Amino acid sequence: MKTIRDFRAIFLLVLSAAGLPDGAQATDAADIVRKSQAAFFEAGKDLQARIKMTLTTRDGQRRLRDLTMLRKNGPAGEQKYFIYFHGPADVAGTTFMVYKYPNRDDDRWLFIPAINLVNRIAARDSRSSFVGSDFTYEDVSGRDIVADTHTLLKEDQVDGRKVYLVESKPNRPAEYARKRAWIDQTTFLPLKEEYDDIQGALYKVFTADEIKEIQDLPTVMKRTMADVKTGHKTEVVFERVQYNVGIGDDLFSERYLRRPPEKWIK
């Protein structure tokens, strides 16, 4: 028995010398990312929110986007998103819809009222800019967990909150070569993310700037994505957030892309 205790003591000593707590060693990085995506993208059965998006250039020029986001969770990790743009005038009436599936490419559609056309967005375009912002289409609805290999680097702190620092490297096409996420150990919301390009240089930073409890669910009410190379940034503020409002499946259709019901987009 003494020999077993000695081996355990040596094992714990090795962990301590490596600078990683034994709790962190026992925690699976992919599981942390899975919980983070659940907290960030899947809270509640559904979501309705009014969103103000501000795009700012390096020299301070600003453009605004005013939109409503609707999201409904489905079985086995499936989700549906519906986004309606109220303004400005050049994008007013534009609608965007996503069918999100685990472990396969999502389906995305964009309705542009100026040409009265519903466009299917190819999977390769999911990594392009979302309506001119610093967020990609993939950032809006999330990326498949299995599309990256995740590694828990260490436990850390952000503004006094304990976090997991998780590194993610893509094994499927991605806009980044490496991503580091600081994930709150209590809420599992991402507090900060850094993205490196293929040259290993930092080019994009995400921050969760304000978090509130809405219907007992921690919610990122204000977030920013900044391109550190161009100086461009996008600030997103969630307003009038409601969970579990009873959104029906029939909303997520091409018919309503063209004529969304006023009840849901107001």
Domain ranges across the chain? 25-264
Report pLDDT for 22.
41
* CA-wise closest residue to 266 among 53, 84, 111: 84
Phi then psi for residue 259, to 5 deg, are -135, 75
Report pLDDT for 262.
87
Q: Is 140 helix (H, G, I), strand (E, B) or coil?
A: helix
Report pLDDT for 173.
86
Mean pLDDT per segment of 10 residues, for the chain of length 266 residues? 42 38 60 95 96 96 96 92 93 92 86 90 74 85 89 96 97 92 98 96 97 97 97 96 95 91 87
Report pLDDT for 208.
98
Query: Which helix or strand (DSSP H or E) is residue 112 part of?
Result: strand 107-112
Report pLDDT for 10.
37
pTM of the full predicted structure?
Answer: 0.84
Strands 46-56 and 62-73 come out as antiparallel
- Give the angle subtended at the CA of 142 by the CAs of 89 and 185, to the nearest 5°: 120
Report pLDDT for 125.
67
The amino acid sitting at 132 is: G
CA atoms of 172 and 179, how far apart (whole Å): 14
Report pLDDT for 19.
39
Architecture of domain 25-264: Clam (2.50)
End-to-end alpha-carbon separation of the chain, Å? 69
Report pLDDT for 63.
94
**Residues sharing a CB contact under 8 Å with residue 24, sequence separation 6 or more, in sequence order:** 152, 154, 155, 164
121: which 2 tokens? 């967005």
